[in-house]
Amino acid sequence: MTLSHDTAGTGPLTVVLLHSGVCDRRMWDGQFQGLAEAGHHVVRCDLRGFGETPVDAPHVHADDVRDLLDRLGVERVVLVGSSFGGEVALEFAVRHPGRTAALALLCAAAPVEHRAGPELRAFFGQEDALLEAGDVEAATALNVGLWLGPDAGAGARALVHAMQRRAFELQLAAPEEHGPLPTGVTEDDLRTIGVPALVVTGAHDVPDFRAIGEKTAALLPAARRVELDWAGHLPALERPEETLDLLTGFLSGLSAPAAAGR
């Protein structure tokens, strides 16, 4: 299985964009070409169960990303992960040491245990109930309402609706035995990730993800944390140009020879 993907641009840095769990690779429309125009080789992909990549077997998302990079002939990369994509990025950095040059984690989850707070527990309870009742449309709308911050426009909301609805269609149709496999990544593993890391949180995000960001930044030896006072959970969609500026600034501060990916 090769993940559905797009590539653009050339340059000494290969930047891999990993989408959130309510999106697919379309969430990076506001940054994909801009990063290429800034002089980077850019890859964006649909993880299994999202966008144009079906769920066809048990899998580890981080290993799927490795297989895609092997197919593209890319050895070392900068990983940019939004929410669930940030969790996958951290798993990749642990499971495939030496292949990650840097990390940019945007309101990211983490592959270690987190006790959900009351707002997140209530959300998951509502989502489960709606899906069990077969009301996929209401479950989709519930996700759009929670995950986008106050600066998200109608276009962003429509796109998240389409991406989440597509993810539900793929995942609900997949056999249970084709689900993701455990990765076994621990907090001690995260402490071994010594590459430069930008850990971004949003002031309007669900409190859980701000807490996860604080903890992740403390675990990663070379992390810098930035809180965006305007952002909800998906800054790449809420203020695309500002998120592009944030990423290009981070990338420009990296050593190109150390992070060369091709």
Please give the Cα distance from 240 to 3 (Å, whole number).
Answer: 24
- List, in sequence order, every beta strand (DSSP E) within the chain: 5-8, 14-18, 41-45, 77-82, 100-106, 197-202, 223-228
Place of tokens 């929670």: 146
Give 160-166 contacts, CB < 8 A, sequence gap 24+: 160/22, 160/23, 160/27, 160/234, 160/237, 163/22, 163/23, 163/24, 163/26, 163/27, 163/50, 163/51, 164/22, 164/23, 164/140, 165/136, 165/137, 165/140, 166/24, 166/50, 166/51
Q: Which of 72, 69, 71 is closest to 89 using CA atoms?
A: 69
If we measure between CA atoms, which residue out of 28, 25, 46 comes closest to residue 36?
Answer: 28
Cα dist. 184→2, 92, 95 in Å?
24, 12, 10
Arithmetic mean of pLDDT, 51-66? 93
pTM, whole model, 2 decimals?
0.95
Helix axes 118-132, 136-147, angle to 10 degrees: 160
Quote the mean pLDDT of the chain.
94
pLDDT digits (tens, 9 = 90+) for 7-25: 999 999 999 999 999 999 9
The pLDDT value recorded for residue 177 is 82
What does the domain layout of the chain look like in residue ranges?
5-259
List residues bridging with 53 in a β-sheet: 50
Distance CA 184, CA 187 (A): 10
* Cα distance from N-terminal residue to C-terminal residue, the chain: 22
Give the residue-averaged pLDDT of 51-56. Answer: 94
| CATH tag for 5-259 (out of 3.40.50.10420, 1.20.950.20, 3.40.190.10, 3.40.50.1820) | 3.40.50.1820
Contact 60, 181 (CB under 8 A): yes
Helix, strand or coil, per DSSP, at residue 51: coil
Strand partners, 105: 81, 199
pLDDT in tens, 154-170: 999 999 999 999 999 99
Of 217, 243, 218, whose CA–CA distance to 230 is shortest? 243
The pLDDT of residue 258 is: 41
Q: Which stretch of 56-60, 138-142, 232-236 has the lowest confidence by average pLDDT? A: 56-60
Per-residue model confidence as pLDDT tens digits over 239-254: 999 999 999 999 999 9
pLDDT higher than 50, residue 262: no
- Residue 15, SS3 per DSSP: strand
pLDDT at 259 > cutoff 80: no
pLDDT of residue 255: 57
Percent of all residues in the chain with a pLDDT value above 90, rounded to a whole number: 87
pLDDT-derived band at 257, boundaries 50, 70, 90 = very low
